[in-house]
Chain A
Amino acid sequence: MGAPSFSLLAQSVLSGVFIGALYGLLGLGLSLSWGLLRQINLAHFALAFLAAYLCYQLSATGKIDPLLSLALIVPAFFALGVAMQWVFARFDITPFNSLLVTFGLTVIIEALIQLIWTADFRRLESGYGDAKFKLGFLYVPAPELLTLVLALALSFAIWAALRHTDVGKALRAAAEDGPIATAFGVNRQALALMLSGVCTALAGVAGVCIALSYTLAPAQMYGWIGVVFAAVMMGGLGRPLGPLFAGIVIGVSEAVTMALTSPSWAPLVSFSLLILVLLVRPRKA
């Protein structure tokens, strides 16, 4: 094989940035619930796919624009997240048990999706699907660009909120040392309910982005778990910007690997990078 052209490399890098943004968006809620709530929420992926199917359904039958469907999906998922956290708190579920419980929840949500929409493939047909524009010699697809914009906006907004608002500081304090935070008047239960709602709403946003770019099938939710977990671990738990940057690093590395060598090497990239990060900075994740 000859040297790849510059346009091939540049287009591949762009493709990697886009998929990396989706890794980051999916990883954002997961990282926050893991880092700040001490819950390893495997159901995050199932919830994202549930949102994707709802977006598909609202568009197919209700003729609702996929972006407008966010106005319904985000509040509904926020409420769902609050309800989930209430149950988790009620039964005092430990971090390890949260992994098991949310895995069970994932299987239930998958079965529910299959019951309603069947296991067959579903494709959201919207005006966004075909929309793209050219930037020099680069082709920029609209749904992926939208995902990138949403991932950047949400990651920076949550980063700013955690850093500069009282609620954000309280959340960080509660995660750092719960009893001391309580002693200073932090209402940990209320904050946990709110944070779980936000994380689930973020899964809803990621789901809409998935529906815009991908054909849906229930079992596909499992295909994202490994790489998104790698992005979350690399980015650091509870750090809003971490999964996005780690996701983009993974996405670009995978895409460049595919452009330069055999694409079958790409899946090794995310985990090799994760191992490298853990070796070099063992306390990072």
Chain B
Amino acid sequence: MKLSIRRASAPIAALFGALALAVGTACAAPSGQPVRIGSTLALTGPLASTGIVHQIVGDIYVEQLNKKNGLLGRPVEWIVKDDQSKPDLARTLYEQLITVDKVDLLMGPYATGAILSAMGVAQRYNKVLVHHTFGIPSLAKYDAQFPTWSLGPDPAATFPNTLFDALAAAGKTPKTVAIVTSKFPSVHFMSLGAREAVKKRGMQEVVFLEWEFGNRDFGAIAARVKDANPDFVWVGAIGLEGNQLLDAMKKIDYTPPLHFYMYPAPGPMAQATEAKNALAATIFEEHPPYLSNPGAAEFVKLFNERAAKAGIPYTQVETQAAASYSAWQVLDAAVTATKSLDDKVLADWLRKNKVDTIQGKLRFDGPSNYGDDLMAVKQVQNGRWVTIWPKSVAAPGATLMTK
């Protein structure tokens, strides 16, 4: 018996040794000069409530990278500066990141204005700019910018159709539509697209209203929507505007039969009782099939924990966090595949290849380096967001709720 154990122990030890070596190689601590990735985020100022989401995501991804093998076997260092929600400051800081901090790679800032500023700087220095929250694809002219918010090249034409398809599939095609919208650029053009879709589909637009971003009093707008009595209300709102309008509607005892909000603040809207059955656009929610995408389940768990620790009231992963994580996945994939930090090599590879991300496969070979419009329709159901359309990404069993 002793002999047989001794005999068996040699190959077992060898096997364990080989395994340990393999695991050790795969997870070897990164060493050498760090790869420096530079970006700015809106850590203060009016966009800071979302900026912090991107900071948490970046921290998580860099930690995950460094726990594995870093990038190209080197540790990763993320230099993030506060652009105070100011695009002009973002421009200066990106210039600094490239010329003073001498970062190897860039990651985009938060929101369209700052990204546009960063894009100009990246173009001047021929740097690749992967970015996560650019809302107006037609303005992305630089050929080495790569968007990970999968809007598609013409979301104003594609997304309203996705939305009205969702309503039609549920047998709820509206006859009359009210379109009310903020003049905030990245939602305004989407609302104009919705107007076109309404016209093309033979629905009647009963009211069209625009307000300046920063409007405080939604009472009169709510009263006008109520007066028009539409079957469906498209609200081109960003951030809290959707909640403000809902609040004003509630005060005059009005509940729209069906209502959609372009880019609402996800937490406040999901938690507001008056937002029951509200619809919105999304690229990721915390349910299958999204959770089966590469890295999604682990990321969701980590994000939930970190967001709670950071004191963020809404700790779920949705569009912002998902687009942000995808941006890091895209940059990681390009460096890993090319084994290079050279911007030209990375840009060439990204243009020719698709990347698996938590929101699905992204490609960058369309107009302005945009690929498919992966935006889906979600709805507040029982106090949480659930994707309902298209069926390929809908939560199991989820359909449009109207009551």
**Complex Cα spacing A258 to B52, Å:** 35
The interface stretch among A11-19, A72-80, A229-237 is A11-19
**Complex Cα spacing A219 to B44, Å:** 9
Check B72 for interface membership: any CB of A closer than 8 A.
Answer: no
Closest chain-B Cβ to A168's Cβ sits at a distance in Å of 32
Check B355 for interface membership: any CB of A closer than 8 A.
Answer: no
**Complex Cα spacing A12 to B209, Å:** 15
**Complex Cα spacing A259 to B218, Å:** 10
**Contact in complex: A259, B210 (CB < 8 Å):** no
Check B398 for interface membership: any CB of A closer than 8 A.
Answer: no
Q: Which of B221, B244, B314 has the most CB of A within 10 A?
A: B221
Check B192 for interface membership: any CB of A closer than 8 A.
Answer: no
The interface stretch among B292-300, B305-313, B335-343 is B305-313
- A118-B312, A123-B268, A219-B85 are known contacts. Are A1 and B217 too (CB-CB below 8 A)? no
**Contact in complex: B240, A121 (CB < 8 Å):** yes
**Contact in complex: A15, B223 (CB < 8 Å):** yes
**Complex Cα spacing A130 to B252, Å:** 11
Neighbour of A262 across the interface among B210, B219, B223, B253, CB < 8 A: B210
**Contact in complex: A19, B217 (CB < 8 Å):** yes
Neighbour of A258 across the interface among B221, B243, B268, CB < 8 A: B221
Looking across the interface, which residue of chain B has its beta carbon closest to that of A123?
B268
**Complex Cα spacing A47 to B314, Å:** 27
**Contact in complex: B46, A217 (CB < 8 Å):** yes
**Contact in complex: B220, A120 (CB < 8 Å):** no
**Contact in complex: B219, A118 (CB < 8 Å):** no
**Complex Cα spacing A220 to B216, Å:** 10
Residues in A whose Cβ lies below 8 Å from that of B99 = none
**Contact in complex: A254, B217 (CB < 8 Å):** yes
Neighbour of A119 across the interface among B48, B207, B215, B250, CB < 8 A: B48
Neighbour of B220 across the interface among A16, A219, A264, CB < 8 A: A16
Check A139 for interface membership: any CB of B closer than 8 A.
Answer: yes
Neighbour of A120 across the interface among B207, B226, B243, B313, CB < 8 A: B313
**Contact in complex: B240, A217 (CB < 8 Å):** yes
Q: Which of B207, B220, B251, B310 has the most CB of A within 10 A?
A: B220
Number of residues on chain A facing chain B (CB within 8 A) = 47
**Complex Cα spacing A8 to B254, Å:** 13
Q: Which chain A residues numbered 235 to 268 have a C-beta less than 8 Å away from chain B?
A: 251, 254-256, 258-259, 262-264, 266-267
Neighbour of A219 across the interface among B45, B227, B243, CB < 8 A: B45
Residues in A whose Cβ lies below 8 Å from that of B311 = 117-118, 120
Looking across the interface, which residue of chain B has its beta carbon closest to that of A251?
B217
Closest chain-A Cβ to B162's Cβ sits at a distance in Å of 27
Closest chain-A Cβ to B83's Cβ sits at a distance in Å of 14
**Contact in complex: B223, A217 (CB < 8 Å):** no
**Contact in complex: A258, B217 (CB < 8 Å):** yes
Residues in A whose Cβ lies below 8 Å from that of B354 = none
Give 5 A-B contacts (CB < 8 Å), ordered by A residue.
A19-B216, A120-B312, A120-B314, A217-B240, A266-B211
Chain B residues close to A by CB (< 8 Å) = 44-46, 48-49, 51-52, 85, 183, 207, 209-212, 214-217, 219-221, 223-224, 226-227, 240, 243-244, 248, 250-253, 265, 267-268, 271, 310-314
Chain A residues close to B by CB (< 8 Å) = 1, 4-5, 7-8, 11-12, 14-16, 18-19, 111, 114, 117-123, 130, 132, 139, 141, 144, 214-215, 217-220, 222-224, 227, 251, 254-256, 258-259, 262-264, 266-267
